[in-house]
Amino acid sequence: MDPFPPMRLPSRPGATIKRIYLCRHGETAANYKRLLQGKGIDLPLNDRGTVQARSLAERLRNEKVDFIGTSHLKRAKQTAQIIHQHHPRAAWLENEDLAEISWGSWDGTDTSEIETLIQKWDRGDFEAAAPQGESPFAVEIRSVSLLYDLIYSRSENNLVFVLHGRLLRIILSSLLNRNLSKMDSFRHHNCNINILDIEILDTPSSSSPLSLSPSSKNLAIQVLGKDERRTAGTALRHPSNIRVTACILDDCSHLTDFLL
């Protein structure tokens, strides 16, 4: 397998570069049966998913990894734990804001109604959701806000996140395009790897969209009002001092045909 490309160099003095690896969890029984599997479904990896996770961990074995983040759901957490075995000193974070979208009453089903919902998203209606489920805007608010916070506030420079399929599409479109219009252009095989280099240009001022929360050391991302988000195609005011570049998308070179 070819090595990953080297981390980009800062574009100006004082800028900082961080690399994030966004990976999908291994296969579960619901994946195998092609059922909707949102955050209301908490299945472990199946046998093939475990082998996929080991292959992913082996691909990342020789990379510098000093932070591993995962959702609380078994399929992501088990995959992350297998990666962590090769990087036992890496910091560990488990956070529910990194969970998959909720498909509400559709979770665990193969309903064809999902096609109508995706058509709404294709038309730019990112407030649309499954019955009792989450919208892409709601997922973007919780997940991308957390990622910006971690990217900015963590001291580590090489961060691995083990995430979920629809969540990855939302995150990649939000970070790379600053809106959700491209989310269905991103593929997400089980245990794939997406590599993004993040350049932090400077420290944000109190008037920046990325600012220190007065009640904590965490960062606060401004959430747009409903009218503004419909026009912008994003629920967030993305920070102007952070630039995101895709290095690799949906890398599956570590997976054999049997594992795809």
* pLDDT tens readout for residues 245-256: 999 999 999 998
pLDDT in tens, 202-249: 755 444 444 433 333 456 689 999 999 999 999 999 999 999 999 999
Q: What is the pTM of this model?
A: 0.93
Instruction: For residue 126, tell me if it sits in a domain.
Output: yes
Please tell me which residue in 84, 87, 100, 134 is annotated as part of the active site.
100
| Residue at 213: amino acid letter | S
- 85 — alpha (psi -120 to 50), left (phi > 0) or beta? alpha
E strand or H helix that includes residue 142: helix 136-153
CA 12 – CA 172 distance, rounded (Å): 25
* Domains contained in the chain, number: 1
Instruction: For residue 5, tell me if it sits in a domain.
Output: no
pLDDT confidence of residue 184: 95
Task: Pull the structure tokens for residue 109.
Answer: 């089903």
Is 100 among the residues known to form the active site? Answer: yes
* Count of CA atoms in the C-beta half-sphere (13 A) of 60: 38
List the CATH number of the domain containing 24.
3.40.50.1240
Percent with pLDDT over 90 in the chain: 88
Instruction: For residue 20, tell me if it sits in a domain.
Output: yes
Instruction: For residue 2, tell me if it sits in a domain.
Output: no
Instruction: Give the pLDDT band of residue 31 (cuts 50, 70, 90).
Output: very high
CA 170 – CA 102 distance, rounded (Å): 13
Helix, strand, coil share of the chain (percent; to 5): 35, 20, 45
Task: Pull the structure tokens for residue 210.
Answer: 């990325």
Instruction: For residue 151, tell me if it sits in a domain.
Output: yes
89 among the known binding-site residues?
Answer: no
Give me the phi and psi of 78, to 5 degrees please: -65, -40
Dihedral sign of CA atoms 11, 16, 17, 20 in order:
negative
192 among the known binding-site residues?
Answer: no
pLDDT confidence of residue 212: 39
30 among the known binding-site residues?
Answer: yes
Instruction: For residue 177, tell me if it sits in a domain.
Output: yes
Evaluate whether 45 touches 186 at the Cβ level (below 8 Å).
no
Instruction: For residue 254, tell me if it sits in a domain.
Output: yes
pLDDT in tens, 67-123: 999 999 999 999 999 999 999 999 999 999 999 999 999 999 999 999 999 999 999
Residue 243's beta-bridge partner residues?
Answer: 199
Instruction: For residue 130, tell me if it sits in a domain.
Output: yes
140 among the known binding-site residues?
Answer: no
Structural domain of residue 199, as residue ranges? 16-259
E strand or H helix that includes residue 250: strand 242-251
For residues 178, 184, 186, 190, the Cα torsion angle rounded to the nearest 10 degrees is 130
